Amino acid sequence: MKWIFFLLCIFNASTPFATSLSFCQESDAEAPNLADYDIGQQSYKGVHAAVVAHALSTLKIDFTIKRLPWLRCMHDAQSGKFDGIIGIGWSGEWDLIFDFPGDSEAEPMKQYSITRADYYIYSIKGNSLSWDGYALSGLRYGIAAPKGYVVETLLKNLNAHKELDTGLAVSFELLVNKRVDGVVMTDSSLKAYSLQYKGTKIVKLSPVFYQQHVYMAFSLKSTVSNQTRNLIWQQIALSKRVIANSENS
């Protein structure tokens, strides 16, 4: 489904920015079947990219957004190949690598987030795996998670992580074949991967495993000024409402 947006210039940018900015976001392997959003003359995958694209277009800033495997996206943004990264959750570790909105010594202000992501553990009916919000039980093989995400670190801290060099699609296949105990993902990812396994009884373990607000963060090596960064984050806070209202209309 495509969402069509008429761009309204919420901020009165007196002159366009001369330099084109570049951003990366997660690949289709990690976030499959994302909705298409048309912003101006371009189409963007997923609400994260759509919000950022709307904000930058409103501010009359030229930009590009490229989809990459998440670990490569993080590496390239950290090294300065991209000005920023789209769809990253805050953590103390990432705060040392990227510039998030707000006080650099504390968790960023949630009003500048793009959205909130809820991660659940999904298992197969009949598995003994259980989660009470504090501890896991019934582990046999371990639990898979998207590489480079905070949830991967959390599973490692619980000694429950199943290390795999493959993406979520293969992890989900291993779950169906009972080679991993569970997979951590969002509801939207589950819907995408479960389409080809309609006869499989997938179980969502409650409570939620991890919740995080998702941001656009700048590379510490980006030459974008602090004033421009703050202006973009402020516009993101407005643009996410514009897009949310358009989806609900």
Could you give the number of structural domains in the chain?
2
- What CATH number did the domain enclosing 228 receive? 3.40.190.10
What residues make up the domain containing 30?
Answer: 2-115+214-248
**Rounded average pLDDT per 10-residue block, the chain, 249 residues:** 40 53 92 88 94 97 96 96 96 91 77 94 94 96 91 95 85 91 91 77 95 96 96 97 85
125, exposed or middle or buried, with CB in 10 Å at 0-12, 13-18, 19+?
exposed
One domain, residues 111 and 10: yes
One domain, residues 129 and 181: yes
- The pLDDT score that the predictor gives to residue 7 is 38
One domain, residues 110 and 132: no
- The pLDDT score that the predictor gives to residue 77 is 98
pTM for the predicted model, two decimal places: 0.82
One domain, residues 27 and 102: yes
One domain, residues 51 and 70: yes
One domain, residues 108 and 132: no
One domain, residues 110 and 140: no
One domain, residues 101 and 134: no
One domain, residues 88 and 105: yes
One domain, residues 218 and 110: yes
- The pLDDT score that the predictor gives to residue 103 is 66
